[in-house]
Structure 1
Amino acid sequence: MPKHPKVTIGLILFKGEKYLKYSLTSLINQDYSNIEFLFRDQSPNGEAYEYVKKELPEVAKKVKLEKGGNLWHSGGHNALIRQMKGEYYFCCSNDMLYPKSFVTDAIRELEKSENKKYGSATCRLMRWDFEKVQEGNFEASKTKVIDSLGIGITKSHHFVDIGQGQSNSTPYLNLKEIFAPSGALAIFRKSVLDDIAFTNDKGIKEYFDELLHYKNDIDLAYRLQWAGHPCLFIPQITVYHDRQVGLLYRSDHTIINRLITQAGKSKWAKGNSFFGDIVVLKKNFTKNFSWNVRLRTWWSRLLKFIFALFLDVSLLKQYRLVNKFRPEINLKKRAIVRRNSPSYIEKLML
């Protein structure tokens, strides 16, 4: 590769020590030479920090490891992005297994002249059956079941993991441009993050919206699309993921399965997911979408309200919470850089 731009790999640690021996080791042993590793432990008592220091000294030597309060996904990654020195930010997870050439292959694709327009990227995520690792059958843990091939957007403004639960990824190998990278593994050019960042009232840049604990990845991706920075899918890279939250590898995304998934989440997860869903639409939905998209989206919103009203009234307080933060939400909405038209966004819809 003629050019080796500096890469920053950012990782938020929050418990999950069982994965670290495998995940972090695979991450630091990349064959790409120009990497800085920024890891932040947000565990309640610094458990992951202490584990890495004591049990993984070879990892600790290669990374900048800090610990601090729980800023959640948005605040934690924002803190790392503000420190980074690289041209690319790899937003990684600690419940994944990475191939040795992961960074090399990603940078090779993104540095191609025809791919310079892409502001973000992701790759093929397959299910990592970690129970097999614990049973001593490491190779069998790498399954052929799709975890995510990136995020797709539907005309009703549902956001789905492309291909999730399917055992054949061949039909998707010709995909190139998708709506968004998976929040579990996303690659960003630092320049595009700076382009769409929101400067808060303290003068601090927010890349991920720190109001959101769920759907923050969707919100960031939507803002990148509005600003004219599309997302590249790189199918030749395979990373394995032991998904902790989300669909339990269902191969379809019908309203019934979405409701089943919603019902299966913890109260905290349901509330924050519901809140994030509303805020993403408040910021990004526009009346300039076609009638088809508007009607489908409004109908979907109505069904979600009915679900909350009759099946989970605890979710109704999320509407009050959105109203409480309305001034901040509106401020962030006005700050969105909009170079692309709604018709462009619609072309990406499934």
Structure 2
Amino acid sequence: MSKKLVLLMTMILCAIFLAACNSEEGNAAKAKSNEPLVMVWYPNESGSEMAGARDAFGRIFEEATGRKVEQKLTTDYAIAIESIASGNAQVAFMGPQGYIEANNKSADVQPIVVPSGSSGTLEDAVYYSWLAVPKEKADGYKVNGEFALDTIAGKKFSFVSASSTSGFKVPSSSIIAHFTKQDAYKALKQDDLIEANALFPEVLFGDSHQGSAVNMMMGRADVAAFCDTCVSAYVELVEGKENTAGAIYRVKDDAAAPFNNLTGEEFVLISSTPVLNSPFVVNTSALTEEEITKLTELLISDETTNDQTIFVPKDSGEIGLFYKSGDERFVKVEDTWFDPIRKLSE
């Protein structure tokens, strides 16, 4: 057989092989695009009262990708983190610390957007980490008439989850920074706060921000860490300036579970710390580049910004994940924006 004929046959066989491979890849991509898009939620957003808000996002993701959306609800932060890191879920809404943990597990997990502040930009894209106590006991946390962190020593403390930004990472960093200046606690480490320690004789975890708040109001804990946005549907400001020490909040009369048996109960903030807003993230290995682009563009669009099922008017009385009091919208964000939260673990 001549060399030219051998070469020709080789080229034909290569072409057939490549065509077969492309066909298999194309069929796999087609099959993947026909599978449900799995959206995983933290426990904070998994309650029945949040169903309408979750469904609103389901409609957006379905419009962007053309895929049926499957909502995956969780009772544990770790489940949500593992789901997005493994690619079993393709989209997640999670706190900065949870995102960092998922990204550490898989670099394929990347943020796409965060809700802005009232300015419509990243400049004020923050929410707040609270330390709260029952109203009737609030004076016991003051020194010379001012709330002081020293007063929480020896108290039963409730966090949210070790993977929570505002319910553990931020408050524990502040607590360690404050108390390690004192000889009695100079050896205390952030990880020590996960269980009973020299500072707190008992440590509880609520597994959600709502759960941590309930631990405090039910008397299981003296002090609780949780965030403003996760309890905003259940409580209302009755005195003081919102998100500041001394502000008094009351559980609404029509509050849903787990606050339905605590209506009228009041608590006081003894500390409030701004935290970077939480991102929507995707697993880039489980979605196509085109799908990610479409998701991002639809989230930051004016259509979504003006959708009152997504950004609920603040004074409407309706329950939502995000509220609009100014120019709130979703804005693009990159991994490096969360570096200040990473530094809390250094």
Q: Same fold (TM over 0.5)?
A: no
Q: Determine which structure has greater relative contact order: mean sequence separation of CA pairs < 8 Å that are 6+ residues apart, divided by chain length.
A: 2
TM-score in terms of structure 2 length: 0.27
TM-score in terms of structure 1 length: 0.26
Larger Rg: 2
